[in-house]
Amino acid sequence: MFATSLPAPRLRLLCFPFAGGGASAYRAWGAALEADGIEVWPVQLPGRENRMGEPAADDLTALVRRLADEFGDDLVRLPYAFFGHSMGACVAYELAREIRRRGLPEPARVIASAHRAPHWPALGPTCHDLPRDEFVARLREYGGTPEEVFAMPDLLDLLVPLLQKDFALFERHRWSAGEPLDCPLTVLGALEDTVSAQELAGWEELTTGPFEVRMVRGDHFYLLDAQEQAIRTVRELLVTR
């Protein structure tokens, strides 16, 4: 869904969504990057958009194993990179680790966006296990969900269970120590996000390859609010490096 198919791509970019999000968040990326030879594959996780009828995953280890099964054969055919935003950053990094455990080539680059280093403990309490009304109130605090959604009970009834499972996906995950990746790792942070510079810098411990933190304008949902900026930054990382 929303994937581009190029006759002779030089690189394939797999994009992983934020909590509650789907492949449509990357709808415009394929057309924007195809001139650079980048074939964009927005990854549609179960339980959302055209996969709404499937149960959403709430175990990160099981999810990345399933993704490795599905994409493993495609990752040996040409160079590839991962981009993951918020929850998707955890999915992207853990998938890169799983791929290496299977003896497959690592990504040409992992781009982790708007999430603390996954081996650092969370600073606040978990959200996925809050009572429904408290969970909805917390969503309002985070921002990113249109206010109109909160006025539509039927839509909330669909959205809240998915979001709770997505939050559980990374909140319940227990970090397993292991060798760092060897590939380049770039972390994107937003200037108005609550993820601190220290939490972003912590990702450096997770690769022996080149590492950098880049700050972009916007808040946690800059990916949607400043889409052109996000695409431009990713293009710079994948084309000029």
Active-site residues, by number, are 86
* Contact assessment for residue 112 and residue 233, using Cβ atoms and an 8 Å cutoff: no
The CA distance from 182 to 12, in Å, is 19
The CA distance from 205 to 203, in Å, is 5
Burial class (CB in 10 A: 0-12, 13-18, 19+), 62: exposed
Instruction: Calculate the alpha carbon distances from 234 to 88, 152, 226, 228 in Å.
Output: 15, 35, 13, 10
Which residues are paired to 11 by β-bridges?
38
Q: In terms of Cα–Cα distance, which of 33, 138, 144, 17 is closest to 84?
A: 17
The CA distance from 235 to 84, in Å, is 15
- Torsion from C-alpha of 44, 23, 61, 238, nearest 10 degrees: 120
User: Per 3-state DSSP, what percentage of the chain is helix, strand, and coil (rounded to 5)?
Assistant: 45, 15, 40
Structure tokens at 89: 């950053």
Instruction: Calculate the alpha carbon distances from 208 to 17, 94, 184 in Å.
Output: 26, 16, 8
